[in-house]
Amino acid sequence: MKQLLAEGGLRLTKSLGQNFLHDANQLRRIVAAAELSRSDKVLEIGPGLGPLTKLLVDRAGEVLAIEKDSRLVALLKKTFSSSSATKENPQGIGVFTLLCDDALKFLESEQRDWSEWKMVSNLPYSVASPILVELAQGEAGPERMVVTLQIEVARRLMAVPGHKDYGVLTLLVQLNYEPRQFFRIPATCFFPEPAVDSACVCLVRRPAFFLGSAQKAIFVKVVKRAFSQRRKMMMKLLKEDWGAEKLARGFEALDIPEQTRAESVSVEQFVGLARMLSQ
């Protein structure tokens, strides 16, 4: 990686969170978690210098990579010049398309059907959470998301009720995705080394959406209000938006004690509450 950067005369940009995973064993573990085949289409956000991209192109039928740094896009085009953006080449390497764009803005504006795609990415720390929420909350999110991110964020994605990491991000993602796999990746596996450790998580889309779009809006509002002050009882916080009687009936039906804090309420109970409040 140092050689590639030196040959291209590239200096890394701190604001873009450019810490590139170079450890071959960790890269293979990430690809294994994605369970790729030639029938798969893969979205990769932040390919960087392309070590993960190479494995994805070798195994999947189609790869769409989105890179914000135009200097890295130029380098990636040279690296993957043998891959065609329109058809498979004679060596059997899958279709590879490279976009120079801000991935979050692209996802917000495209509103594409990703339901037949998988996302496999080493996400930039600064935009990892918003990108995951954008895809997880969409009507047609990827069937699987295998992502490497800051270990604190990874723990929130995997959290269960009652755990200190359980919160808004947990619920916004777990509404439609089930966390399946988690493994830690030390800082020494990256260049340059970040100040924190990372982890890879595997999220698999649930068989059916819990809520319709109108009910989902209520769910998001309930979750954000309930966690707006973690140490306060959830009932008191929700009374700012909904009537006490309606809330009491909902809490009783869902077996939620009125003294409960949000961190103890399961995703299924939040879903049930959103359904009741939307009536």
Q: What DSSP line would sit under 174-218, residue for residue?
A: HTTEEEEEEEEE-GGGEESPPSS-EEEEEEEE-SS-SS-HHHHHH
Q: Check which CATH number belongs to the domain holding 258 and give it.
A: 1.10.8.100
pTM (2 d.p.)? 0.89
pLDDT for residue 110: 83
Residues 199-241 pLDDT 10s:
999 999 998 767 888 899 999 999 999 999 999 999 999 999 9
Cis before 192? omega within 30: yes
pLDDT for residue 88: 42
Whether 44 and 119 map to the same domain: the answer is: yes
pLDDT for residue 92: 47
Strands of 47-185 (E only): list them: 62-67, 95-100, 117-122, 144-150, 177-185
pLDDT bracket for residue 90 (50, 70, 90): very low
Q: How far is CA 6 from the centre of its chain?
A: 31
Whether 147 and 9 map to the same domain: the answer is: yes
Q: How many domains does the chain have?
A: 2
The last residue of one of the domains, among 205, 236, 255, is: 205
pLDDT for residue 14: 57
Whether 166 and 57 map to the same domain: the answer is: yes
Instruction: Work out the average pLDDT over 269-277.
Output: 96
Q: Check which CATH number belongs to the domain holding 200 and give it.
A: 3.40.50.150
Residue 116 has pLDDT above 80, yes or no: yes
User: How high is the mean pLDDT of the chain?
Assistant: 90
Whether 220 and 201 map to the same domain: the answer is: no
Percent of the chain whose predicted confidence (pLDDT) is above 70: 89
Looking up tokens 């002050």, which residue turns up?
229
pLDDT for residue 89: 43
Instruction: Work out the average pLDDT over 236-261.
Output: 95
pLDDT for residue 54: 94
Whether 58 and 153 map to the same domain: the answer is: yes
Q: How many CA atoms lie within 13 A of 28 on its CB side?
A: 3
66 - beta bridge partners? 45, 99
Q: Bigger pLDDT: 156 or 192? A: 156
Whether 37 and 128 map to the same domain: the answer is: yes
Residue 26: name the closest of 173, 156, 146 by CA.
Answer: 146
Q: In which domain, by residue range, is 180 found?
A: 2-205
The last residue of one of the domains, among 205, 227, 243, is: 205
The last residue of one of the domains, among 155, 185, 205, is: 205
pLDDT bracket for residue 193 (50, 70, 90): confident
Q: Rounding to the nearest 10 degrees, give the CA dihedral for residues 78, 68, 60, 107.
A: -150
Residue 43: name the closest of 88, 110, 91 by CA.
Answer: 110
Alpha-carbon span 39 to 61, nearest angstrom: 5
Whether 9 and 55 map to the same domain: the answer is: yes
Residue 144 has pLDDT above 50, yes or no: yes
Please name the residues in contact with 236: beta carbons below 8 A apart, sequence gap of 6 or more: none
pLDDT bracket for residue 5 (50, 70, 90): low
pLDDT bracket for residue 81 (50, 70, 90): confident
Q: How far is CA 32 from CA 37, 92, 146, 205, in A?
A: 11, 20, 10, 17
Alpha-carbon span 40 to 22, nearest angstrom: 24
Q: How many CA atoms lie within 13 A of 206 on its CB side?
A: 16
Residues 20-74 pLDDT 10s:
899 999 999 999 999 999 999 999 999 988 999 999 999 999 999 999 998 889 8
Whether 145 and 219 map to the same domain: the answer is: no
Whether 32 and 149 map to the same domain: the answer is: yes
Residue 2 has pLDDT above 90, yes or no: no
